[in-house]
Amino acid sequence: MTASIHDFKVETAEGSERALADFRGKTLLVVNTASRCGLTPQYEGLQQLRERYAARGFEVLAFPANDFLFQEPGSNAEIQQFCDTKYGVTFPVFAKVHVKGKSIAPLYRWLTAESGHDGDIEWNFAKFLIGPDGTVSARFHPKVDPLAPEVIDAIESQLA
């Protein structure tokens, strides 16, 4: 049984493997993203969160997914370019994954189980807050803006 996010290894957009143990001790916001979604402008708020809290041990981890109405059709390279040119993203955007269904990535199977919401992710931009110990401390609906007071309060409580 997986005890924390630090037990996972994921694929980078460049095709190499990255251990999430590299983020041990940091507060993380894990988000499934898409480039052609009505919620795509949330990238801007995610980047603002990273800029505001990075010095205090915070990081955003983005996992593009094409599971909702084919709103992330691009290649990993195209997604990286989009995030860089359109939103100036400086947080890690990993390789595309599945966040629901029979091909769900192990990380997302764990996130949904650990958050007390067994089952599928509702849509693009579902947010999971991970404490420095690697456990899920909160889950936010896709429509909750990254800069919403409840998200800010939850992040700050993990950084305190």
Q: What rounded mean pLDDT belongs to the chain?
A: 94
pLDDT tens-digit profile of 28-77? Answer: 999 999 999 999 999 999 999 999 999 999 999 999 999 999 999 999 99
- Using alpha carbons only, what angle is made at residue 73 by residues 101 and 82, rounded to the nearest 5 degrees? 125
**Domain of residue 110, CATH code:** 3.40.30.10
Helix 149-159 × helix 42-53 angle, to 10°: 30
pLDDT tens-digit profile of 95-123? Answer: 999 999 899 999 999 999 887 765 678 99
- pLDDT at 90 exceeding the cut of 70: yes
**Is the residue at 55 inside a domain?**
yes
**Is the residue at 113 inside a domain?**
yes
Query: CB neighbours of 72 closer than 8 A, spacing ≥ 6?
Result: 33, 34, 35, 36, 37, 64, 65, 66, 79, 96, 124
Residue 79's pLDDT is 95
**Is the residue at 19 inside a domain?**
no
Query: CB neighbours of 9 closer than 8 A, spacing ≥ 6?
Result: 17, 18, 19, 20
Catalytic residue among 8, 37, 54, 57: 37
Residues of the domain holding 127: 27-159
**Is the residue at 96 inside a domain?**
yes
For residues 141-151, give the mean pLDDT: 97
**Is the residue at 110 inside a domain?**
yes
**How many domains does the chain divide into?**
1
Q: Is 158 exposed, middle or buried (0-12, 13-18, 19+ CB in 10 A)?
A: buried
Phi and psi, residue 136, nearest 5°: -75, 125
In the residue annotation, 37 being an active-site residue is answered as yes
140 — pLDDT class (breaks 50, 70, 90) = very high
**Is the residue at 78 inside a domain?**
yes
Residue 1's pLDDT is 57
**Is the residue at 72 inside a domain?**
yes
